[in-house]
């Protein structure tokens, strides 16, 4: 009968000649976790500010509604109160939408800044890892030649 070649031993030899650097994987995981933490912080900060804006807008509207629904002496006072409420609501909507736009603008700027920094860090790490791997591969290929 024929003997089947031991593929496990062959793979161990091949993988032993080209060792993996687990520290690069750990560093990549740490960097990803740090980036996610920073991005989450930006998102939660924006959500907090948006909630504050929404709450202020709601309180403002309720205050105006209370004033509008108060009993009036003359029928024309009701029309005047409704006009004032509509005018104040339109003005408040513009102000609050501008506040939401500022929050969105800050989120966009912070996100771009974080992504640019992460890209620069990843490029530096990738270059270092590629250089290290190339050096190890070159050393591994020179070992069999010197035997």
The contacts of residue 111 (CB under 8 Å, 6+ apart) are: 39, 42
The contacts of residue 99 (CB under 8 Å, 6+ apart) are: 53
Q: Give the chain's radius of gyration (CA, Å).
A: 32
Rounded to whole angstroms, the Cα distance separating 63 from 84 reads 13
pLDDT tier, 146 (very low <50, low <70, confident <90, very high otherwise): low
CB 48 within 8 A of CB 69: no
Rounded to whole angstroms, the Cα distance separating 28 from 123 reads 12
The contacts of residue 27 (CB under 8 Å, 6+ apart) are: 125
Rounded to whole angstroms, the Cα distance separating 51 from 103 reads 11
For residue 146, count CB atoms less than 10 angstroms from its CB and return exposed for 0-12, middle for 13-18, buried for 19 or more: exposed
CB 73 within 8 A of CB 4: no
Among 16-20, 77-81, 139-143, name the most confident range.
Answer: 77-81
- Give the residue-averaged pLDDT of 98-125: 92
CB 125 within 8 A of CB 31: yes
Give the distance from CA 57 to its chain's centroid: 27
- Give the residue-averaged pLDDT of 118-128: 82
Alpha helices in 18-74 (DSSP H): 22-68
Q: Which residue has the higher pLDDT, 86 or 29?
A: 86
pLDDT attached to residue 19: 66
């Amino acid at each position: 009968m024929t003997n089947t070649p031991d593929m496990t031993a062959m793979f161990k030899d091949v993988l032993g000649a080209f060792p993996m650097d687990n520290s690069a994987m750990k560093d990549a995981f740490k960097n990803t976790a740090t980036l996610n933490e920073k991005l989450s912080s930006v998102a939660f900060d924006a959500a907090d500010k948006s909630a504050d804006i929404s709450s202020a807008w709601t309180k403002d509207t309720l205050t105006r509604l209370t004033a509008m629904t108060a009993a009036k002496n003359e029928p024309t006072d009701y029309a005047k109160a409704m006009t004032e409420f509509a005018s104040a609501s339109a003005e408040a909507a513009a102000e609050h939408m501008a506040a939401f736009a500022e929050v969105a603008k800050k989120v966009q700027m912070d996100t771009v800044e974080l992504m640019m920094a992460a890209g620069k860090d990843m490029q530096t790490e990738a270059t270092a890892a590629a250089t290290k791997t190339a050096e190890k591969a070159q050393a591994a290929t020179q070992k069999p030649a010197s035997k």
